[in-house]
Each structure stands twice: as C-alpha cells, then as structure tokens.
C-alpha cells in the first residue's frame, strides 16, 4: 500500500524564490527514464518491489516540481514492453502502481490543473490498470496545465513499426500519397501525435542509454544523466537538470 504524502503545497507553487533564472528558457517537455528502483531496494536489503513503491514518492516530488517550474509536458517511462520479461510478482506490482497512485493523488492533480494522458499499447494491460488510467484521463481532460504522460507498456520500436503499418494501409487505400509523406505526417501516427517533442531527457540510475524510449521523438533532445537512483531523485536535482538545460545552446544542425 502507498502512504499518501503531501503532493502540492500552494505556497510552494506560488513562490519561485529558489528558482535561479540563468537567462535561458525552461524546457516545455521533459521526459524521464526513472531507473534504479530495484537497485535502491537491494542496497537497503529490501525486495525489489519496495524500491518501486518508494519510487512513487519521487514521482510525486517531480510532478509537483514540474508544475512549480512551469514545465508544460512531463513524460514518465513507467513500464516498457521489455519489462514483461521480469518476474511475475514484480510485473504484477508494477501494473498495480498506476491504480494506487491515481487513486491517492487524482484529487491533487485535478485541483492543480494537471491533465493525465497515456502512451503505449494499453490494450495488453490488465483491466484494472487500463480502467484506472482511463478514469484519470477522463476526469482531467478539461485541465490545461501540466500534461502528465504515463508511458506504460511502451516500446519505441513497436510504436514506429505500428505507425509504418498504418501508413502502408492508408497508402494502399488511397488515403495517403507515399511521395508526399514527410516527417510531420509520420509523427502524426505515433502515440505522441500532437505533442511537442521532448526538449530534455533525464535518466536516473547511472545508465546512459535510451532503452527503446521515444527514439523518433528524441532526435534533437538534450540529454542529462545522473547516478542518483530514482527513489532518491529530488526536486533540487530536477532543478539542477533544468538549469543546465537553460544554459545549453540548441542549434538543430546549424551554427
């Protein structure tokens, strides 16, 4: 069971006195690979699922920080298509976390104008997971603040392959001209259609790879890696990543 911790503090949301403005711009879209839950638990002499449970506390902190610092879209990699290879006990626990998280914190998300979305192959998820996510999507659909994307049963190669299949079907049906197909049109067939591409990718846990996450969308994204395990990732370190992003110059292939 999750212990409910304070999610939003209105005084914190209204105050940005600790936000050091370096003169750059805050990223509109931040994507995070939340890595290190299992290793965190093992270091504490606890089962791996305890690390996933503790990782929810970090999710709460970072969603709160994203609202505070005016990030527009936050995408969290919660369960990949490769995670089905893990032990059944761990899989079951991971797929129950979205329901527990949303049951606890949906009122806070609603009152702070957060809109929930999901990307991934949701049809293969257990009914209780799908229903919890869909309920949160429906309840928050009119909010126009932070968009919180839950990437669940998500795999980027699968996403791109499915997009190509849909494109070929539409070409064969005469609905789309292959000669006129461009990057923008292809992007419209992805789970992230209509969303801005990530400006900043954060990966915790010390690894420096993408792990089949948003491969198309991250083409010009700035990367930021930390050895900190996800349960220990704090607002302070999130702000450090934002400030480093603000000092980078994005040239998109230009000078």
Going along the chain from its start, the domains and CATH numbers come out as: 23-156+196-247 (3.40.1180.10)
Pairwise CA distance, residues 200 & 248, whole Å: 11
* Backbone phi, psi, residue 216, to 5°: -70, -45
Flag whether 115 is marked binding.
Answer: no
Flag whether 39 is marked binding.
Answer: yes
Statement: residue 22 has pLDDT above 70: no
Write the CA distances from 176 to 8, 69, 153, 186, integer angstroms.
Answer: 46, 41, 29, 11
pTM: 0.90
Flag whether 35 is marked binding.
Answer: yes
Contacts of 227 (CB under 8 A, 6+ apart): 205, 206
Q: Are 149 and 72 in contact (CB under 8 A)?
A: no
User: What's the rounded mean pLDDT across residues 26-44?
Assistant: 97
Q: Which residues are catalytic?
A: 35, 83
Percent of the chain with pLDDT over 90: 87
Strand partners, 30: 74, 200
Flag whether 250 is marked binding.
Answer: no
Q: Are 143 and 114 in contact (CB under 8 A)?
A: yes
Strand partners, 88: none
Residues 194-230: tens digit of each pLDDT: 999 999 999 999 999 999 999 999 999 999 999 999 9
pLDDT value, residue 1: 47
Q: Are 47 and 87 in contact (CB under 8 A)?
A: no
């Amino acid at each position: 069971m999750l212990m409910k911790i304070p999610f939003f503090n209105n005084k914190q949301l209204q105050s940005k006195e600790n936000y050091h403005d370096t003169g750059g711009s805050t990223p509109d879209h931040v994507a995070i690979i939340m890595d290190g839950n299992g290793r965190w638990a093992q270091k504490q002499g606890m089962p791996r699922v305890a690390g996933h449970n503790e990782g929810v506390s970090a999710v709460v902190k970072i969603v709160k920080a994203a609202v505070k610092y005016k990030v527009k879209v936050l995408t969290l990699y919660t369960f990949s298509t490769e995670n089905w290879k893990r032990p059944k006990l761990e899989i079951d626990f991971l797929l129950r976390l979205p329901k527990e998280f949303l049951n606890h914190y949906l009122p806070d998300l609603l009152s702070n104008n957060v809109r929930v979305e999901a990307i991934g192959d949701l049809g293969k998820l257990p009914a209780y997971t799908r229903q919890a996510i869909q309920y949160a999507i429906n309840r928050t659909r009119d909010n126009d603040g932070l968009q919180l994307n839950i990437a669940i049963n998500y795999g980027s190669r699968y996403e791109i392959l499915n997009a190509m299949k849909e494109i070929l079907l539409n070409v064969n049906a005469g609905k789309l001209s292959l000669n006129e197909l461009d990057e923008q049109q292809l992007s419209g067939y992805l789970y992230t259609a209509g969303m801005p591409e990530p400006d900043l990718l954060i990966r915790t846990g010390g690894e420096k790879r993408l792990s089949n996450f948003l491969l198309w969308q991250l083409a010009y994204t700035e990367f930021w890696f930390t050895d900190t395990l996800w349960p220990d990732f704090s607002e302070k370190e999130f702000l450090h990543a934002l400030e480093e992003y603000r000092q980078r110059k994005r040239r998109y292939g230009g000078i």
